[in-house]
Amino acid sequence: MPTPASVDVLILGGGLAGLSTAYHLGRSLRSLVAEKDEKPGGRAGSIAKDGFLFDHTGHLLHLHDPYGKKLILSLLRGNVGAHRRDSRIHSHGTFTRYPFQANTFGLPPRVVEECSALFIKNRLLGLRPPEGASFERWCRDTFGEGICRNFMFPYNLKLWRRPLSELTTDWQGRFLPKPSPEEVLNGALLDQRKSFGYNAAFRYPLRGGSQALPDALAARVRDLRLGARVLRVDLEQKIALIEGLGEVRYERLVNTLPLDDFLDLATPLPASVRAARARLRRISVYNLNLGVARGRISPMHWAYFPEKRFVFYRVGFQSNFAQTVAPRGATSIYIEISRRPEEKVSLDRLEGQALQGLRSTGLLKSSDRLLTKLWIPIGCAYVVYDKHRAGAVSTVMRHLASVGAHSIGRWGGWKYSFMEETILDGKRCAEKLLGLAGSRPAREPQGELVPLK
């Protein structure tokens, strides 16, 4: 297919946000999606190795929006399984149920007493986090010192790699369950099985790993170019230089690349935007995937590890989402290790520490044979919600809007979100581009299949 000299909408990135934007634009505007990899999906994709299919850490479908649910299920066409979450926390030498704040049963008695008593004390004192409180203050006032000391503080320090007093609470609303006093006490005295949180239930493709969803969406996108890395964007002239395509002129631009990476490619930028870009912070994750020659090592879907003695903060069992991602009689495990982007990392050292940690918990046995391993470094895994983020993002987005550009999705929008929300970001962006502003869906969740390019 010849490269168009110009398009109505140029979309940078063929992950879920970019693909969704193009899908919802349909034929109404001429769009082109430029994706640097040789397959669509971005971080929602999967990598095959030695009979295993590994995702970029756990990518699960949490379907809460009626339109999003209808669209995603129609795209997967029955290729989807439903699960009730089995998630645990490992601390004090044992596994307890998630979330920690509502499930201290099974921990040492002194820990149970400390967590529940100090939670109730806060409630009796009527403590409430003040407006604008840091994440550290919010946790302490919301959960009490015991829960914070035994889980909230060590876990989040391990994930975010910075003082929690530097973080805001803008990200955590739906992601951190806030149990009632009755639920906290029940979870201290009983092995309660009540579900908490937005991810208590999830779906996952039966076949094809996480890659199945972007593949299904990409098959409905008319002009997707793979192996097309964006090299430079002139926001003033509205020209992008794209590897393999050359110069592409556009009327409107949609960016889904990490916002800081995109700004490093874009010119010209006013001083205020350059200063805002310098205030954007991210966390990198090193994802070690293991294929183990033992079936169903654990019934868990994933587990959290707050203690310093473990190098990882979370471990998941992808083959418990769908057995088809691993050979018969084998288990696939993903291990997540957080680092600041500027930190030097030795993968060999991290691997040794990760394997030692898994063996110390009993999840791996000394006799277990590793069939394969795969490191997937994720340079931009989480955006940091510090006191600079909101102002910096606002400054950038105002400027981009003034030059006919949108930046959307988890990383383009510089936020914390999940896959359904990313797809809905694309829908909303398409509606703006079409002038609908949400008055009706840009496209209903069906449509003709076109070849995946």
**pLDDT at 442 > cutoff 70:** no
Q: What is the DSSP string of 236-260?
A: TTTEEEETTTEEEEEEEEEE-S-HH
Q: 253 — alpha (psi -120 to 50), left (phi > 0) or beta? A: beta
Mean pLDDT of 260-277: 98
Q: Answer whether 428's CB lies under 8 Å from 7's CB.
A: no
Interior CA angle at 281 toward 357 and 270, to 5°? 160
Count other C-beta atoms under 10 Å from residue 401's C-beta.
Answer: 12
Residue 446: predicted pLDDT: 46
Q: Strand 46-49 relative to strand 81-84: parallel, antiparallel, unpaired?
A: unpaired
Mean pLDDT of 37-64: 97
Q: How far is CA 27 from CA 71, 224, 225, 442, in A?
A: 18, 14, 17, 11
pLDDT tens readout for residues 317-331: 999 999 999 999 999
Closest CA to 118 of 176, 165, 188: 188
Interior CA angle at 64 toward 58 and 68, to 5°? 90
Residue 443: predicted pLDDT: 62
Cα(373)–Cα(376) distance, rounded to whole angstroms? 10
Q: Encoding tokens for residue 403?
A: 């030059």
The conformation of residue 90, written as its DSSP 8-state character, comes to: E
Q: Regarding predicted confidence, which is higher, 96 or 176? A: 96
Interior CA angle at 61 toward 56 and 64, to 5°? 145
Residue 449: predicted pLDDT: 33
Cα(380)–Cα(46) distance, rounded to whole angstroms? 17
Segment (H or E) for 379: strand 370-383
Before 99, cis peptide (omega within 30)?
Answer: yes
Q: Answer whether 308's CB lies under 8 Å from 321's CB.
A: no
Sign of CA dihedral 71, 73, 74, 79: positive
Q: Encoding tokens for residue 57?
A: 């850490």
Residue 171: predicted pLDDT: 85
Burial class, 59, CB count within 10 angstroms (exposed 0-12 / middle 13-18 / buried 19+): buried
In 73-183, beta strands by DSSP E = 81-84, 87-91, 94-97
Cα(14)–Cα(34) distance, rounded to whole angstroms? 6
**pLDDT at 5 > cutoff 90:** no
pLDDT tens readout for residues 200-224: 899 999 999 999 999 999 999 999 9
Q: Answer whether 281's CB lies under 8 Å from 38's CB.
A: no
Q: CA gyration radius for the chain?
A: 23
Mean pLDDT of 346-362: 98
Q: Encoding tokens for residue 239?
A: 């020209």
Cα(32)–Cα(13) distance, rounded to whole angstroms? 10
Whole-structure pTM value: 0.93
Q: Strand 331-339 relative to strand 282-292: parallel, antiparallel, unpaired?
A: antiparallel
> Tokens 């030097």 label which residue?
344
Q: Answer whether 9's CB lies under 8 Å from 252's CB.
A: yes
- Which residue type sits at 378? I
Residue 452: predicted pLDDT: 31
Q: Regarding predicted confidence, which is higher, 441 or 413? A: 413
The conformation of residue 281, written as its DSSP 8-state character, comes to: -
Mean pLDDT of 30-54: 97
- Which residue type sits at 342? E
400 has which bridge partners? none
- Which residue type sits at 323? Q
